């Protein structure tokens, strides 16, 4: 088969699967953005060529049949043998009609690899990695294999430490405060020691905004833009009584010197603040709550309701110590945690599985297969498949 024809069929298979994920709300943010930019003409273009059937085309068709869960054997039993090229084209054109009602503009870059079943053993645990964005917009990639050092900051690959001497003491000569961002992607974690000596552990898919230096005696302010972070705050006694505040979405957490955890992911409608030691005041929409150790405050962003419960703190913060600890969590919530750490997407073929409760402890250094086999052993799931980086639970 000509290379141009083969390219068209590769495009056809990929477009079909992408649109299937899109209309079933399984597409990634990047994929949704791509589909939103297409016109129906661009989608239909993949089927516009008259392809001549040959052995390669037949094999590609078998891939399409497999991917779309069709059964050619059943079709033959019914003495109905459709033109395989017309069927393939109709699949894409049918979906493109729906897109025509919703989408328009720009030209896509096609050619992506066909999704293949892969060995989940190849999906390894997350590592220490992050991106440091400096005040001028420069991005510095931080990994286990890289070192980074300036007069103000130093990183050895697993943590980044700001010079505590850089905090300003003379308020009359304070320059403009400069901010850095530390962004931890999916499949990553990182530790940062701020200029006031406060320590912050960032979980996967998290971002922290913080000043490169603090003004002595003034409230120390940072922002957890999204994600999860554990804070061990340097006591206010060391900073002329200056309080420490963490902002996030619709709430702020004020402390004098304490340890606490905030979980505020973008794909969740609730923010969780758990106090380990000391005392904090959580302010959300003028609703203030004081927390004492072992209490967890939940802010529902949909209705601004606030609830406070006593919890097992070690279970809440175990992620920092290399452990997943679940205390009767629903499998759909557990899989959110797993997806962030292993950088995969998770789909439930059997929706009844989503609300099954799970209690247990899993090591974060295990590969994905070890995690899944443990869950399977407990008869929570029957089987699973991994297509590229999409995990299907059955």
Domain 126-318 sits in CATH 2.60.120.1440: yes
pLDDT in tens, 313-329: 999 999 999 999 998 89
CB-based contacts of 211: which residues, under 8 Å, 6+ apart?
177, 178, 179, 180, 195, 220, 221, 222
Q: CA dist 148 to 181, 197, 205, 322, Å?
A: 15, 19, 22, 25
Q: Distance between CA 318 and CA 203 in Å, rounded?
A: 11
Nearest to 191 by CA among 155, 225, 219: 155
Q: What is the mean pLDDT of residues 174-200?
A: 92
Give the residue with greater pLDDT, 23 vs 196: 196
C-alpha count within 13 angstroms, C-beta hemisphere, residue 341: 22
Strands 206-211 and 251-255: unpaired
> Does 63 score more than 60 pLDDT?
no
Give the residue with greater pLDDT, 61 vs 135: 135
> Does 330 score more than 90 pLDDT?
yes
Name the β-bridge partners of 44. none
Taking the domains of the chain in order of start, what are their residue ranges?
3-115, 126-318, 324-393
Read off the DSSP letter of residue 151.
S
Torsion of CA 282, 262, 225, 286, to 10 degrees: -10
Cβ atoms of 56 and 127 closer than 8 Å: no
101-110, 198-207, 253-262: lowest mean pLDDT where?
A: 101-110
Q: Distance between CA 202 and CA 211 in Å, rounded?
A: 16
Question: What pLDDT was estimated at residue 123?
Answer: 85
Share of the chain above pLDDT 90, in %: 51
Q: Where are the alpha helices (DSSP H) in the chain?
A: 3-23, 29-36, 40-44, 55-67, 72-77, 84-102, 313-317, 331-342, 368-377
Read off the DSSP letter of residue 78.
T
Nearest to 207 by CA among 220, 190, 194: 190
Burial 193-216 (b: 16+ CB within 10 A, else e): bbbbbbbbbbbbbbbbbbbbbbbb
Phi, psi (5° rounding) for residue 177? -70, 135
Q: What is the mean pLDDT of residues 139-168?
A: 85
CATH number of 324-393: 3.55.50.30
Q: Distance between CA 109 and CA 188 in Å, rounded?
A: 29
How sure is the predictor about 366, in pLDDT bands with cuts at 50, 70 and 90?
very high
pLDDT in tens, 18-32: 666 666 666 777 777
> Does 300 score more than 50 pLDDT?
yes
pLDDT in tens, 138-148: 999 999 888 89
Cβ atoms of 174 and 200 closer than 8 Å: no
């Amino acid at each position: 088969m000509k290379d141009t024809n083969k390219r068209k069929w590769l495009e056809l298979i990929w477009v079909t699967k992408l649109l299937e994920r899109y209309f079933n709300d399984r597409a990634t943010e990047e994929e949704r953005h791509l589909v939103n930019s297409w016109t129906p003409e661009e989608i239909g273009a993949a089927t516009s060529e008259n392809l001549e059937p040959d052995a390669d085309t037949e094999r590609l068709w078998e891939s399409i049949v497999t991917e779309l869960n069709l059964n050619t054997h059943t079709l033959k039993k019914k003495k109905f043998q459709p033109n395989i090229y017309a069927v393939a084209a109709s699949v894409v054109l049918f979906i493109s009609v729906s897109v025509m009602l919703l989408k328009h503009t720009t030209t896509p870059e096609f050619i992506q690899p066909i999704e293949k079943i892969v060995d989940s053993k190849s999906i390894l645990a997350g590592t220490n990695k992050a991106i440091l964005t400096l005040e001028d917009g420069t991005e510095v990639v931080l990994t286990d294999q890289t070192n980074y050092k300036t007069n103000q900051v130093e990183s050895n690959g697993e943590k980044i430490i700001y010079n505590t001497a850089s905090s300003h003491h003379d308020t009359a000569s304070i320059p403009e405060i400069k901010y850095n961002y530390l962004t931890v992607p999916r499949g990553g974690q990182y530790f940062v020691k701020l200029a006031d000596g406060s320590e912050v552990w960032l979980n996967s898919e998290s971002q922290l905004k913080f000043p490169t230096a603090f003004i002595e005696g003034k409230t120390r302010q940072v922002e957890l833009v999204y994600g999860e972070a554990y804070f061990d705050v340097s006591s206010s006694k060391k900073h002329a009584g200056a309080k420490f505040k963490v902002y996030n979405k619709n709430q702020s957490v004020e402390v004098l010197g304490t340890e606490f955890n905030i979980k505020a992911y973008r794909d969740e409608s609730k923010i969780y603040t758990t106090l380990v030691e000391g005392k904090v005041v959580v302010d959300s929409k003028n609703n203030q709550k004081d927390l004492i150790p072992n209490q967890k405050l939940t802010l529902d962003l949909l209705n601004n309701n606030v609830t406070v419960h006593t919890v097992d703190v070690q279970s809440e913060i175990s992620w920092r110590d290399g452990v997943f600890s679940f205390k009767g969590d629903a499998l759909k919530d557990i899989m959110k945690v797993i997806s962030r750490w292993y950088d995969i997407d998770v789909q439930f073929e059997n929706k009844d599985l989503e609300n099954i409760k799970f209690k247990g402890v899993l090591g974060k250094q295990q590969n994905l297969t070890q995690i899944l086999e443990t869950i399977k052993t407990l008869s929570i799931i029957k089987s699973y498949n991994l297509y590229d980086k999409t995990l299907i639970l059955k």
